[in-house]
Chains A and B, each alone.
Chain A
Amino acid sequence: MPPHLTETWSTTYVQTLIALLVFALGMPPLIYQLSLPREIGRVAQRQGVRAWRYVVFAVSASALASLAFIWFLHFSHRCFYGRFWDFVGAALVTAVVILVGFPWVRIMLLSSPEALAGRIGRNSIRGFARTGGLVERSLGDLAVLGAWCTAGDEKGRVLATYTEIARVVQSAKGYRGAELVDVIRGIETTLTSKDHPGADSNLITGCDILSSIRQRAANAESDRDSVEAGRAIGRLGSFAGSILAESTAFALLQAMGTDRRAIMGLGLSALATDRFLVALAALNQLESLEEREANLVAGKSSELLGLLAYFWTKGGSSRLRAEAYIGAAAGSFTPSFEECVLFAQRYHYQIAEYGTSDRLGEMLADIRQQKK
């Protein structure tokens, strides 16, 4: 038997219910939208975080609790008194607040970049185990997530997901060496996003992941992943040389190991922004590397000579450092230092690095002039 409600009570309840619904449906989505970039919200939707389910739940639950409140308490107001019914009333009001808030808290947790990265990683690995291939859409979502999440922990979680995916794919028997192109590009996007670049620690982690992808791909049937990872490290170097803290640039340089293009890229961007110690460390690393591996021959020392040419044409002390190296090592180049510079000039021209090619030309002209 429903309780008898007077007009005044009915109006009060309806007004309260409407206010509650407006709050339940309006405020949390507003907070949700303000706290998450729209792009990440879309990724959450595509990854199956269905907000409408929680809205339906919130509305139904709060409506039920409100009805219960009216039914029992209004009715009991006439028939029952006492602490028990006070408690029931308080419990129902509290339940309404919790039931309205809970779904939104749940949505926020499921839509956090960390949770989404974990979800995408699990789905990708499951999909790979099932079909032997990575789902392009999931990797696309992970790339968007990486580009839009904040530097530090969030990007760290996205990178950890990429690490796990790469590890699973590369340890699979059927790995051919060309399956990780989207993963490599995603890592690069995560770190070099224009609006949300990675933190220093993220860049070092990213460089380590790319290096290990490259190492593991070295003996695969196709060299696509290896080449792509090398290029990504190179672009990372160029990106990092001018923006990173000196200590991080050094750490990145260490992580680059023998990746000549990456070292050259980092050295060039450091030199362009007058971060001479970093640029010098990069030059020294290339010099040591080529001497150690007996690569002072035409065709194998193009990155070293390219960076050296930038030092030369920068003038002043940078040029002195380049002259000192050439004075000491020119005799070790085979067939001759000039031949090696000419080869490097052609090489950089062919890969459309005209700036480097021109500087090599300038350096060679200066050296010839000095000889006269």
Chain B
Amino acid sequence: MRHRVLWMEDEALSDLATLTAPIYSSGQYDLSVARDVTEGIRCLWTYEYSVVIVDIRLPPGSGQPWIDLWLASGASKPASRLGLRLLESLFDPASAAVKLPPPPLWIDPARFAVFTVEGESEVADQLCRLRIEPYRQKSARLPFTAVIDMIEQVISRQRDSVLREL
């Protein structure tokens, strides 16, 4: 059975579409793309994913609280960092700007990874607090396997964790 993967990235179907090719070629993953926070939340609440890759600079989509947050930051993706706000809503609801209903049980930081343009030093503290480890920075010379590498990294960490528990 192939692993279900959600990639929250507004450019996944345009500028970064070539990064999906190795995923499709492998025939091992069922990839879905959410191009904004609202669509991402809808996916998370509808299906169970083995891996969720989140971009920090996501657009808000049609959800009003996310639009408000985005407008409050001057309608700027880099300033509003809605991807990070979403992760806070999922894993640190007490300090989150947007309160979500209780997330589905499968949602766990071990299934999440961050793929973003922000440097590691800019988000390391927050990601550490949220217990999200796999991180990769987008850059101009990105290898075409960047996303599938992250997916495999998350899956292998999950596998290792299960083996340790056994």
Contact = CB atoms under 8 A, between A and B. Distances in A.
Interface of A: 246-247, 250-251, 254, 277, 280-281, 283-284, 287-288, 291-292, 321, 324-325, 328
B27 A284 contact: yes
Given A246-B17, A247-B17, A288-B2, A280 B30 contact: no
Contacts of A247: 13-14, 17
A277 B21 contact: yes
A284 B14 contact: no
B27 A287 contact: yes
B44 interface: no
Interface of B: 1-2, 4, 13-14, 17-18, 20-21, 23-25, 27, 30-33
Contact of B24 (A254, A277, A292): A277
A292 B30 contact: yes
Nearest to A294: B1
Nearest to A321: B25
A254 B25 contact: no
B1 A284 contact: no
Interface core residue of B2, B21, B24 (most chain A CB under 10 Å): B24
Contact of A254 (B1, B4, B27, B33): B33
Interface core residue of B4, B18, B25, B31 (most chain A CB under 10 Å): B25
Contact of B20 (A281, A283, A291, A324): A281
Nearest to A245: B14
27 contacts: A246-B14, A246-B17, A247-B17, A250-B33, A251-B13, A254-B13, A254-B32, A254-B33, A277-B18, A277-B20, A277-B21, A277-B24, A280-B21, A280-B24, A281-B20, A283-B24, A284-B23, A284-B30, A284-B31, A287-B2, A287-B27, A288-B4, A288-B31, A291-B30, A292-B4, A321-B27, A328-B27
Contacts of B31: 284, 288
B51 to A, nearest CB: 14
Given A277-B18, A291-B2, A292-B30, A284 B13 contact: no
A121 to B, nearest CB: 24
Contacts of A283: 24
Given A247-B14, A247-B17, A250-B17, A281 B1 contact: no
Nearest to A328: B27
A64 to B, nearest CB: 54
B83 to A, nearest CB: 19
Given A246-B17, A280-B21, A291 B1 contact: yes
A283 B30 CA distance: 11
Given A288-B2, A292-B30, A280 B14 contact: no
B108 to A, nearest CB: 21
Contacts of A277: 17-18, 20-21, 24
Contacts of B24: 277, 280-281, 283-284
A250 B13 contact: yes
A187 to B, nearest CB: 23
Contacts of A246: 14, 17
B27 A324 contact: yes
Nearest to A322: B27
A250 B14 CA distance: 8
Contacts of A251: 13
Contacts of A288: 2, 4, 30-31
B97 to A, nearest CB: 28
A318 B63 CA distance: 41
Contacts of B27: 284, 287, 321, 324-325, 328
Closest 10 CB pairs of A and B: A288-B30, A247-B14, A250-B13, A284-B24, A280-B24, A247-B13, A325-B27, A281-B24, A277-B21, A251-B13
Contacts of B33: 250, 254
Nearest to A279: B24
Nearest to B26: A324
A291 B21 CA distance: 20
